[in-house]
Chain A
Amino acid sequence: MKAIQELFVISVGISLALSGCSSTKGDDSSLSPDLSPRSALPFSEPLAVGDPQNNPADAYLVTSDTGKVFVSWTEQVLDGQGRNVFIGTVASEGQQLSEIRQMNQQPISGHGGENLAKFAVSPGDQVAAIWTPFSAEPGHPGLPLKLTHAEDGEPFSAEKVLNDDQKEVSRANFSGMGTSPDGKIFAAWLDGRNDLDAKQLFMAISEDGKTFSKNYSIAPAACPCCRPSVNFLDGGQTVLVAYRENALPSGYITPDNVRDHLMIRSNDGGRTFSDPVVISDDGWVPIGCPHAGISIDVDSWDTIHAVWWTGGRAADEAGIYYTYSEDGGESFIPRQLISKTAEDTVLHTQVVADKNDTVYAAWVGIREERPQILLTHRLAGQQQWSPIDHASDTSWNAIYPMLTVDNEKLYVAWTERKGEASQVNLRTTPLVGN
């Protein structure tokens, strides 16, 4: 039933002709559905990431400026609670992992998902990683955000605390990280240190990945359970942060609390940020916690691409949407529907642009009552998305897709669950434009 609802769309929106409009409420009616998904991309066989005995989960992917593809994941702690987090590099054209290192000393949170461990790679393939540690307390009161660092191929440093509020019980979590083209690492996260109704969006910057700046607030109210995204324009001169709004602000669920996605921009290296721009006026008011942030990537022309899920103003507006900005995030074109979905099931998305400016979008779609990882792409300069591809094809539930690219391949990783068991799979496919 859900599969029927989720109509894949080969989409040429009339609205796209309105590129640059400041109004972002899209006209979805001009889009034509395609009910016959086909697979076009030649995917490699899945690579099982991590030790299958320890239920791997929570994949995260980053390509360094040297072209190394790093993947992180978590595994259950043996005879204990919480999880360990590992990092490795993808070798042999996506068929092998190498240089596997454990990043944590103390167990990390087992929740993963939207609040998964993140890392950034700075020049020389140095890695800085942050995560939420495991808490045995009921109600998950939250512990400080942990931080670690490693030189290329070396063991990770002792864990430190990223948030500088000195509170034992912290409400810092749901992070995003990015490495600017000039090598600085930016970390953004949701922070409840000021005990306001809403969480604030905080940031800290590192020159070397080892130590971070003083923490500072960059947005006064953000949805408390959705990851932010950190990206860059102009060779790092402009810092972009996208997050889900919390309109009132109120940390509580109210009938008029819109949770659309916003973008703020900094032209001074992350010191100050602009007022937020609404990425898409979806008008979604969830009476609940979305636990789903937006995915953003920037192509070689500094066009900002965004893919997200929304429940919409009405049930028939729910779906996976795409938009882009060609003016540095000052405005976005009206949203373009990629796939219709159910309004009550939150789905996770990813977007990445490759060296040819081909844009790939991945999301969780429901097929035969199972979540699977679906993929589409559009070539540079074209408005039309490709037929749908299935990255996963499994009797397990496939969730939380991650994407990255190098000069040759697209890398897709995700978590699969069946009961209490989980596993991480990774596949590659040659870049379309190549």
Chain B
Amino acid sequence: MFPILALAIPGLATTLWRTSLEAQTSQPQIVTLKGRVIDLTCAVKGKVMTGSWNNVAEDHMMEDGSIQKACATLCLKGGQPAALFADNKITAIFACNPRGTDAAPHQGYTLAGYIAFAAEVEGYWADGKAESGIFVPLRIRRGILSAERRYSEGGGWKELYCGPIESKS
């Protein structure tokens, strides 16, 4: 186990470094993904425990079989990693669970407000294509929006700031 981790961590760091470098030196191809924002940790644990994707909504099944209400929101507010779920599979692992916005940089984890909802997420793949499954989210909006919000000036989008990669000076 340890040797695999020892290899994986430098590998991830290298990927992120390259991603950061690419972001600074060239414009990544921006794509929009659709799916449901989920708490990656509970989703994966639930899959291992039950053999199916039971923990991709708001309430989650615990190891003792009990149901934890609002577990997904609690987890993302706690800084757990997030992902996008569509067509009964995880379609993207978010490179960050960004905290705060320009207006409120130290308040809350933005993705927690979208947990289990259909969402559109705009961003770019860490390796320029979907193969790595790691996605740098730049902004997000609900997948189902009123006409008022969808056609408003901001289009219902909320900016996501992925730490140093997307930080604004």
A residues adjacent to B (C-beta < 8 A)? 113, 250, 252-255, 286-292, 311, 344-348, 364, 366, 369-371, 397, 399-400, 417, 419
Contacts and interface: CB of A to CB of B under 8 A. Distances in A.
A301 B145 CA distance: 37
Nearest to B117: A288
A308 to B, nearest CB: 14
The DSSP consensus for interface residues of chain B is loop
A252 B58 contact: yes
Given A113-B148, A344-B143, A397-B151, A288 B57 contact: no
B13 interface: no
Given A253-B58, A255-B57, A346 B151 contact: no
B146 A292 contact: yes
A291 B148 CA distance: 11
A268 to B, nearest CB: 37
B9 interface: no
A346 B146 contact: yes
A287 B116 CA distance: 7
Nearest to B57: A254
B147 A346 contact: yes
Contacts of B117: 253, 287-289
B147 A252 contact: no
B58 A366 contact: no
B144 interface: yes
Interface string B132-169: 00000000001111111011110000000000000000
Contacts of B147: 345-348, 364, 366, 371, 397, 399
Contacts of B150: 344-345
19 contacts: A113-B146, A250-B59, A252-B70, A253-B57, A254-B58, A286-B144, A287-B144, A288-B117, A288-B142, A311-B144, A344-B118, A345-B147, A345-B150, A346-B146, A346-B147, A348-B147, A371-B151, A400-B148, A419-B153
A369 B151 contact: yes
Given A252-B59, A286-B118, A287-B117, A366 B151 contact: yes
B114 to A, nearest CB: 9
Given A370-B151, A419-B153, A253 B144 contact: no
B148 A344 contact: no
A254 B58 CA distance: 8
A287 B36 contact: yes
Contacts of A419: 153
Contacts of B152: 397, 417
Contacts of A366: 147, 151
Contacts, number: 73
The 10 closest A-B pairs by CB, nearest first: A252-B58, A287-B118, A288-B144, A371-B147, A253-B116, A346-B146, A399-B148, A288-B117, A254-B57, A364-B147
A348 B143 CA distance: 17
* Residue among A252, A347, A400 having the largest count of chain B Cβ atoms under 10 Å: A252
Contacts of A364: 147
Nearest to A290: B144
Given A254-B116, A287-B117, A345-B150, 12 more contacts: A113-B148, A289-B144, A311-B144, A345-B144, A345-B146, A345-B147, A346-B144, A346-B147, A347-B146, A366-B151, A397-B152, A399-B147
Contact of B146 (A253, A287, A291): A291
Interface in B69-123: 70, 116-118
Contacts of A292: 146
Contacts of B151: 366, 369-371, 397
Nearest to A400: B148
A371 B144 contact: no
A255 B88 CA distance: 11
Nearest to B104: A138
Contacts of B146: 113, 291-292, 345-348, 399
Contacts of A417: 148, 152
Contacts of B58: 252-254
A399 B146 CA distance: 9
B58 to A, nearest CB: 4
* Residue among A286, A287, A347, A348 having the largest count of chain B Cβ atoms under 10 Å: A287
* Residue among B57, B151, B153 having the largest count of chain A Cβ atoms under 10 Å: B151
Contacts of B153: 419
A347 B57 CA distance: 25
A371 B57 contact: no
B57 A344 contact: no
Contacts of A397: 147-148, 151-152
A34 B144 CA distance: 27
B20 to A, nearest CB: 33
Nearest to A420: B153
Contacts of A369: 151
A346 B118 CA distance: 13
A244 to B, nearest CB: 13
Contacts of A287: 36, 116-118, 143-144
Contact of B145 (A250, A252, A255, A346): A346
Contacts of B59: 250, 252
